[in-house]
Amino acid sequence: MTILDLISESLFCANVVGYGGLQTDAQTTTAFRALIGLVDTMAADPLKKLTNASIGFTLTPGKQAYTIGADSSLDINASRPQTILRGNVLDPAAQPNPLRTPILIFDADTYARSNLRNSPTPKPFALWYDQGYSPVPAPADPPPDYAPLPGYGTINFVGSPTAANPVELWAAAPLTQASSWFDDLVFPPGYYEYLLYGTTIRLYPRFGRDPDPTVVGLFKDAQLALESANAMPAPIMQLDSGLPRPVQSGRWDARTNRYTGT
């Protein structure tokens, strides 16, 4: 399935084109922009992310700050992470199983107070990820006019590397933004209807259509399924024995504002 297949179905669901009817380029472009807006919103919500991504690169001796984003002009050409979860510095000399030294993930305050920030070391022991979304100054791979400009974050290591050791990081990765009508769609179960009906709902005001309650209901069902699949178990607050307990089983997840589990 391609982007064009999805947005064509959305135009039909929104009653912009009839069954089997031909859509104009203007209609297709409008639907494509609606999908871009939906994916952009999803990328900011950890309950709708696709997966945690593995990122690998090699340290440059003397270099502590590495830009990361979806452009080949940056130090690390990968989707800009929302958050870096964990990481390791590898010792390539220990083959076939390189020795992995864990990297601590600092927040900005801990990084700023570190006394070892600039100390030479073959294996930096910590990093701080600056999530600031800075625009790529001169993109080597500029996006189409209708797509958002690429941005990047910066990985700052505590300790100045003295060896070209490999690094592996795991990060909460945003959704990959579409770049053309003919991009292939690859996603796990549960995302198709969320993208389809989410795009359809965004098309109603663009074409002066009243929202179809059936489509809105299907979108909410898809949203619940997606959030439930991506939600990690949250801490459960213990209730005093004298307090009333909910009739409904499970637990209340403040992130989704509903009961989850059984």
Tokens representing 243 are 């307090």
Comparing CA positions, the residue from 15, 12, 8 lying closest to residue 208 is 15
| Same structural domain, 124 and 101 | yes
| Same structural domain, 136 and 158 | yes
Angle between the N-to-C axes of helices 3-13 and 191-206, in degrees from 0 to 180, rounded to the nearest 10: 60
| Same structural domain, 5 and 81 | no
| Same structural domain, 55 and 72 | yes
Helix (H) or strand (E) holding 167: strand 166-172
Query: For residue range 51-63, what is the model confidence (pLDDT) as tens digits?
Result: 567 899 999 999 9
Has residue 82 been placed in a domain? yes
C-alpha distance from residue 145 to each of 11, 135, 149 (Å):
22, 15, 9
| Same structural domain, 55 and 164 | yes
Has residue 144 been placed in a domain? yes
| Structural domain total, the chain | 2
Has residue 249 been placed in a domain? no
| Same structural domain, 17 and 58 | no
| Same structural domain, 82 and 121 | yes
Low-confidence ranges of the chain (pLDDT < 50): 234-235, 262
Range of the domain at 155: 51-172
Tokens representing 32 are 């494509």
Specify the pLDDT at position 239: 53
Specify the pLDDT at position 219: 94
| Same structural domain, 32 and 65 | no
Has residue 206 been placed in a domain? no
Q: Does the pTM of the predicted model rise above 0.75?
A: no
| Same structural domain, 31 and 14 | yes
Has residue 228 been placed in a domain? no
| Same structural domain, 80 and 166 | yes
121 forms beta bridges with 161
Specify the pLDDT at position 176: 67
The residue among 124, 156, 172 that closes a domain is 172
Specify the pLDDT at position 258: 60
Specify the pLDDT at position 146: 60
Specify the pLDDT at position 214: 95
The Cα 224–Cα 194 span in angstroms is 9
Has residue 233 been placed in a domain? no
| Same structural domain, 59 and 37 | no
